[in-house]
């Protein structure tokens, strides 16, 4: 029972066998009944026509019968011929082991003779010209027979009966032969069902078991297992979707793990970044409270430093929040057609004075063309500010910062080139990461957060654009981004 509950193939096998047996049983039973009836009817008809034939020929009925003919006919029929007189007394009884001729004196009457089926009313019916038949055990003949009885006439009057019997055994034999055929068909059917089940177990049960194992290992956290898909039927589809599921889950889980990792790093970085300004602020305020600043000028210096650190903290927090928002997709870009040429001009204007203070030559170059893109002006301005701020800060006195606009078929490119220290090839991929600073000490004086480029990349990618850098240490850097038109 447990086996049955566990195996779909066993279930199928039982179902098929049951079906074969059921069909065979019904066809067997119906066929046998129908055939029996058919054989009986045929035999009855044969007997009847012979009996009628006999009753019509005067020379073989009654006491003056031509016995030779009676013997011949009984032999041909392999049956028994019985002739009685009007009262039912047996005159002759020939065939099937009987040889009674002209036994009128013995007065053996078919009616009431023990174990003979005939009744008085039967005899009356026969005498009135009706045909009476009987099927079953028959005394005298010691076997099951089919019998028909008809009257015979002399001088236009019913003079007695002719009763023809033939054994049922041959019919039964034929039917049992047929039943044997049906039985062997059943056995063949069961054998076929077994072979079919074995084949099915290959194509049905085995892949299902493999899928089961795959699903189990997925539950245990192993998504590397795949089911081999050969068929394109429902099982194949199932296996295929299981494989896809495993692959997708694997991908998702790896992504989740990566996300978790970056989140943890992010929190660690943020705490680290916050700690430095906070401890500086703490140091200055404690010094002020302890009265360590002797002069007004010194006190003002401490306050100014504290203020600087507070501004730094503020910027850090704003940038962190900004980045998180962009990354989480929480910022909806307010896209509208903007003129990059105009936007770059504005930002350039802001930084020109700063650059000149540092004795850095700034320039803005662009060929005439259409620099209109569909973008969020505030966000793109932020990117420009970040890039220009980096460039001006990186460039020493006497250096140059150049902003260039280029128009391509489908895109607009903005580049900011400086003559600063440049960035080594190993560090070029790293500068886009949050909190990454090439020169850790520079961050202290320059006030960078290490978030500017990370934010810039998020913004540009959200616009469907690309951002990158080409740089050689000692020769300066060129940051560029493109936006689709």
Q: Which is nearer to ligand ADP, 437 or 485 (CB)?
A: 437
Least distance (Å) between residue 278 CB and ligand ADP: 19
Residue-wise DSSP of 290-345: TT---SHHHHHHHHHHHHHHHHHHHHHHHHHHHHHHHHTT-PPP--EEEEHHHHHH
Which C-beta is closer to ligand ADP: that of 134 or that of 432? 432
Residues 121-180 contacting ligand ADP, CB under 6 A: none
Could you tell me which residues come within 8 angstroms of residue 217 by beta carbon, excluding any fewer than 6 positions away? 223, 225
In angstroms and rounded to an integer, the radius of gyration of the C-alpha atoms of the chain is 57
Beta 132-138 vs 411-418: how paired, if at all?
Answer: unpaired
Give the one residue of 86, 240, 437, 485 binding ligand ADP; rule: CB under 6 A: 437
DSSP calls for 441-453: HHHHHH---S-HH
Q: Helix (H, G, I), strand (E, B), or coil: what is residue 74?
A: helix
Among 147, 386, 415, 458, binds ligand ADP (CB under 6 A): 386
| 460 is an interface residue for ligand ADP by CB under 6 A | no
With contacts defined by CB under 6 A, name the span among 107-115, 164-172, 344-352, 432-440 that binds ligand ADP.
432-440
DSSP codes, 360-385: -EEEEEE-SS--EEEE-HHHHHHHHH
Any contact of residue 450 with ligand ADP (CB under 6 A)? yes
At residue 143, φ and ψ (nearest 5 deg) are -160, 170
* Using rule CB under 6 A, residue 89 touches ligand ADP: no
Contact 8, 208 (CB under 8 A): yes
CB 369 within 8 A of CB 329: no
Q: How far is the CB of 352 from ligand ADP (least distance, A)?
A: 17
Which is closer to ligand ADP, CB of 201 or CB of 390? Answer: 390
Q: Is 431 in the site for ligand ADP (CB under 6 A)?
A: yes
- Single out the residue of 33, 439, 444, 472 in contact with ligand ADP (rule: CB under 6 A): 439
Residues in binding contact with ligand ADP, number by CB under 6 A: 22
Q: What is d(CA 80, CA 92) in angstroms, rounded to the nearest whole number? A: 10
Considering only 418, 419, 467, 483, the residue that binds ligand ADP (CB under 6 A) is 418
Q: How near is the Cβ of 205 to ligand ADP at its closest, in Å?
A: 59
- 459 makes contact with ligand ADP (CB under 6 A): no
Out of 423, 459, 460, 483, which residue is the one contacting ligand ADP (CB under 6 A)?
A: 423
Mark the segment that binds ligand ADP (CB under 6 A) among 225-233, 272-280, 325-333, 446-454.
446-454
* From candidates 79, 95, 167, 452, binder to ligand ADP by CB under 6 A: 452
Q: Residues 394, 403, 412, 460: which binds ligand ADP (CB under 6 A)?
A: 394
DSSP 8-state class, residue 98: E
Question: Which of 67, 443, 466, 485 is the binder for ligand ADP (CB under 6 A)?
Answer: 443
SS3 string, 25-61, reads HHHHHHHHHHHHHHHHHHHHHHHHHHHHHHHHCHHHC
453 lies in the site for ligand ADP, by CB under 6 A: yes
Candidates 11-19, 174-182, 214-222, 444-452; binding stretch for ligand ADP (CB under 6 A): 444-452
* Dist CA 401 CA 415 (whole Å): 10
Site pattern 3..32 for ligand ADP (x: CB under 6 A)? ------------------------------
What angle is formed at CA 160 by the lines to CA 159 and CA 164, rounded to 5 degrees?
140
Q: Which residues bind ligand ADP (CB under 6 A)?
A: 386, 390-391, 394, 418, 420-421, 423, 431, 436-439, 443, 448-454, 477
């Amino acid at each position: 029972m447990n086996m049955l509950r566990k195996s779909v193939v066993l279930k199928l096998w039982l179902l098929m066998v049951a079906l074969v047996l059921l069909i065979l049983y019904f066809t067997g039973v119906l066929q046998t009944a129908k055939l029996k009836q058919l054989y009986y009817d045929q035999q009855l008809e044969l007997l009847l026509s012979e009996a009628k034939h006999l009753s019509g020929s005067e020379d073989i009925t009654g006491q003056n019968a031509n016995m030779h003919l009676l013997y011949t006919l009984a032999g041909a029929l392999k049956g028994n011929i019985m002739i009685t007189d009007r009262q039912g007394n047996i005159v002759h009884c020939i065939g099937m082991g009987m040889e009674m001729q002209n036994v009128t004196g013995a007065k053996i009457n078919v009616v009431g003779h023990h174990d003979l089926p005939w009744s008085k009313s039967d005899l009356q019916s026969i005498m009135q010209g009706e045909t009476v038949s009987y099927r079953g055990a028959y005394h005298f003949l010691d076997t099951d027979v089919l019998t028909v009885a008809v009257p015979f006439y002399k001088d236009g009057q019913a003079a007695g009966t002719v009763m023809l019997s033939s054994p049922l055994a041959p019919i039964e034999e034929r039917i049992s032969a047929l039943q044997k055929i049906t039985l062997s068909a059943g056995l063949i059917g069961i054998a076929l069902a077994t072979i079919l089940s074995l084949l099915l177990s290959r194509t049905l049960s085995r892949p299902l078991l493999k899928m089961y194992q795959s699903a189990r290992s997925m539950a245990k956290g192993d998504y590397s297992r795949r089911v081999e898909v050969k068929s394109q039927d429902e099982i194949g589809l199932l296996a295929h979707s299981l494989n896809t599921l495993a692959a997708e889950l694997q991908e998702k889980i790896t992504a989740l793990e990566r996300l978790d990792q970056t989140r943890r790093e992010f929190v660690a970085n943020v705490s680290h970044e916050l700690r430095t300004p906070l401890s500086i602020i703490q140091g200055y305020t404690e010094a002020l409270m302890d009265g360590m600043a002797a002069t007004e000028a010194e006190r003002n210096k401490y306050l100014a430093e504290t203020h600087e650190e507070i501004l730094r903290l503020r910027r850090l927090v704003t940038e962190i929040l900004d980045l998180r928002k962009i990354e989480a997709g929480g910022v909806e870009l307010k896209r509208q057609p903007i003129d990059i040429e105009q936007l770059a001009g504005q930002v350039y204007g802001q930084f020109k004075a700063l650059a000149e203070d540092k004795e850095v030559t700034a320039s803005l170059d662009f060929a005439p063309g259409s620099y209109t893109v569909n973008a969020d002006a505030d966000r793109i301005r932020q990117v420009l500010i970040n890039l220009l701020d980096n460039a001006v800060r990186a460039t020493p006195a006497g250096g140059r910062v150049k902003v260039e606009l280029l128009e391509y078929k489908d895109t607009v490119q903005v580049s900011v080139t400086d003559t600063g220290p440049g960035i080594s090839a190993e560090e070029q991929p790293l500068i886009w990461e949050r909190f990454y600073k090439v020169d850790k000490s520079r961050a202290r004086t320059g006030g960078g957060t290490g978030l500017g480029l990370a934010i810039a990349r998020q913004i540009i990618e959200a616009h469907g654009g690309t951002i990158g850098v080409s740089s050689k240490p000692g020769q300066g850097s060129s940051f560029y981004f493109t936006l689709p038109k």
